[in-house]
Amino acid sequence: MAGHNKWSSIKHKKGAADAKRGKVFSRISKEIIMAAKEGGGDPMLNARLRSAIAAAKNANMPNDNVERAIKKGTGADASSQMELLSYEGYAAGGVAVIVNCLSDNRNRTASDIRAFFTKYNCSMANSGAVSWKFHRKAKFVIEGENADEEKLFEVLLEGGADVDDIIVEEDYAEIIAPVNAFGDIFKILEAAKIDTAESSIAMIPENTTIIDDIDTARQVQKFIDVLEDYEDAQEVFTDIEISDEVAEQLAAD
């Protein structure tokens, strides 16, 4: 899991750089849409949505954008009836990939995703061929001085939270927990005034695919970047694990 966390850390830092290029609103909007679709549009009854709205406020995202994303997720926007679609397959090095999309046109999205897999020499798989390797988990990302394993463990333990793992890499920490613990952990972190850089329901692999070749890692990263930039894609998950050496080279790219 340590190697997988290095990949997550690199991707998150890249996301911070993307934010400077105007992509942050898109990422937050997608999380709001997913949260509203799964748990409803009332943030008082939907901790995941409340967390996403908090992230939107921290990013100075306009209220109109937030409300529009909520309406898309709940289906209240009659002009945009969205359908949740999932695609599975393998990237370079046999890395398992899951792409969850929200689309108003199933045929267009399926065609686009298939084209991405073909263009980057990846292979699509039937439903269930990859997803069995993953488990749905609550995931929180903490950055900066609060990314301290001992501090987070103490706060969550005192709050009685059910946590699977706390993974720390430099100034980056991931809290992994059962899905039904999302609300409790969000409230505990909120009360402790610990801001989350990211909070979501993620697909976490039970086992990872180890990549120790920089060229293969770059191929995977390029493919994942394209998927994440695709308008219909809401979430992209992989089982990649990289070595320290590869992580350093990717971070330097």
The domains found in the chain, sorted by start residue, are 1-132+208-253 (3.30.70.980), 133-205 (3.30.70.980)
**Predicted confidence pLDDT, tens digits, the chain (253 residues):** 444 566 676 666 665 555 554 677 887 888 898 899 889 999 999 989 998 998 888 888 899 999 999 998 888 766 667 788 999 999 999 999 999 998 889 999 999 999 999 999 999 999 999 999 999 999 999 989 999 999 999 999 999 999 999 998 888 899 999 999 999 999 999 999 998 888 888 999 999 999 999 999 999 999 999 998 898 898 899 999 988 888 888 877 7
Report the alpha-carbon distance of residue 169 to residue 175 in Å, rounded.
Answer: 12
Amino acid present at 239: D
pTM greater than 0.95 (yes/no): no
User: Could you give the strand order of the β-sheet that contains 233-238, starting from the edge strand earlier in sequence?
Assistant: 123-125, 83-90, 96-103, 233-238
C-alpha 14: how far from chain center: 13
